[in-house]
Amino acid sequence: MALRRALVCPLDEGKYLAPLSTLGVGGRCECFAEPWVLADVATLFRIRALEGFPIYILGGGTNVVFADGEIEGTVLSTRRLNACRWNVGETHGELDAEAGYSLPLASAVAGREGLGGAEFAQGIPGTLGGAVAGNAGAGGKSAGELLHEVTTVEENGEIRRWRRGEFSYSYRFFSLSSSPRFIAACKLSFERKPLEDIWRDEAAFRQVRMGQPRGVRSAGCTFKNPPGDSAGRLLDACGCKGLSVGSAVVSGAHANFLVNKGGATGSDVFRLMGICRDIVFEKTGICLEPEIKFMGFPK
């Protein structure tokens, strides 16, 4: 295989994907790559541009649902692209990090150094690349507010750097994610903040998450909040708590979380989300948009 010969990292075939996601569903992928150098990512995208196979980007696996059976194409894991450099000054600090760097770790280090802005990430699992790509956030704060620069691998394999002003963000949206490119690295900027204020804000964000299900297999929030409302509130009000398809169940603790009770499939999750979305639409006229990403499903 040309792809195997071109990459520095190993290329696995037929790798099971369910263990790589927090929801724990899905089949095998045709190819799986976990590079530790950006050059491999660029090579992968250049070859894809010529051969046309799909590429699926996997960060921490916290908001993805893999299809059952074999998924055609290549799953690209960012786990080993996790290099970082902190630069902490008297009035501000910066973090240069690759896509696979841990988001909770970034929040913890910033707080410890007296750098404010990442308190919202308390309790949000996953990687920095995934957080940027989906503009993860909580309580009105998000990753996009911290972004100073972003490095991407473009669809043709070109490596490009974007500076603030060349990209935009809004609720669960990042403009550079609208094209099939790879968010490879980013630079975050932080301002100095009293430690007492950071601890207070971290505690407040942790409190917000207290009502979310814990100790279960879940992919995080199922749907995005519609303007001026809460997806969880709508799902709860429409009687979706406890609904199930196979072993996929709408959590009784928080209606915007689907959990795998054991043995759920990707199809179970897909069907249950469709049922919940239809119920909410029929009762309220609001069509909920998935926050979970589907990999390997027919378009």
Angstrom distance (rounded) from CA 292 to CA 99: 19
The token pair that represents 105 in the structure block? 């770790």
β-partners of residue 290 are 223
No. of helices (H) and no. of strands (E), the chain? 7, 20
Nearest to 188 by CA among 241, 113, 291, 258: 113
Pairing relation of β-strands 55-58 and 70-77? parallel
**Long-range CB contacts (< 8 A, 24+ apart) of 46-54?**
46/156, 46/157, 47/2, 47/3, 47/6, 48/74, 49/155, 49/156, 49/157
Which region holds residue 14: left if phi is over 0, alpha if psi is between -120 and 50, else beta? Answer: left
Alpha helices in 209-265 (DSSP H): 231-237
| Catalytic site residue from 98, 119, 202, 291 | 291
- Is residue 276 flagged as an active site residue? no
Q: Which residue has the tokens 């590429």?
A: 55
Q: Which residue has the tokens 């919940």?
A: 276
The token pair that represents 188 in the structure block? 């975050």
pTM: 0.91
> What stretch of H or E contains 35?
none
Which region holds residue 34: left if phi is over 0, alpha if psi is between -120 and 50, else beta? Answer: beta
Structure confidence at residue 5 (pLDDT): 85
CA dist 190 to 54, 133, 165, 193, 217, Å? Answer: 36, 19, 17, 9, 33
The token pair that represents 127 in the structure block? 């990687």
The dihedral of CA 225, 228, 232, 235: what is its sign? negative
| Catalytic site residue from 46, 79, 80, 172 | 172
Nearest to 261 by CA among 276, 253, 251, 274: 251
Q: Work out the burial of residue 207: count CB atoms within 10 Å of its CB; fewer than 13 is exposed, 13-18 middle, 19 or more buried.
A: exposed
Pairing relation of β-strands 182-192 and 92-98? antiparallel
Q: Which domains does the chain have, with CATH numbers?
A: 2-77 (3.30.43.10), 84-209 (3.30.465.10), 214-295 (3.90.78.10)
| Catalytic site residue from 221, 238, 240, 276 | 221
- Is residue 79 flagged as an active site residue? no
For the segment 197-238, what is each residue's pLDDT rounded down to a tens digit?
999 999 988 877 777 887 889 999 999 999 999 999 999 999
CA dist 50 to 45, 156, 224, 231, Å? Answer: 9, 9, 35, 41
Structure confidence at residue 1 (pLDDT): 61
Other beta carbons within 10 angstroms of residue 14's beta carbon come to 11
pLDDT, tens digit only, all 299 positions of the chain: 678 888 999 999 999 999 999 999 999 999 999 999 999 999 999 999 999 999 999 999 999 999 999 999 999 999 999 999 999 999 999 999 999 999 999 999 999 999 999 999 987 888 999 999 999 988 888 999 999 999 999 999 999 999 999 999 999 999 999 888 999 999 999 999 999 999 999 998 887 777 788 788 999 999 999 999 999 999 999 999 999 999 999 999 999 999 999 999 999 999 999 999 999 999 999 999 999 999 999 87
- Is residue 164 flagged as an active site residue? no
What DSSP character marks residue 299?
-
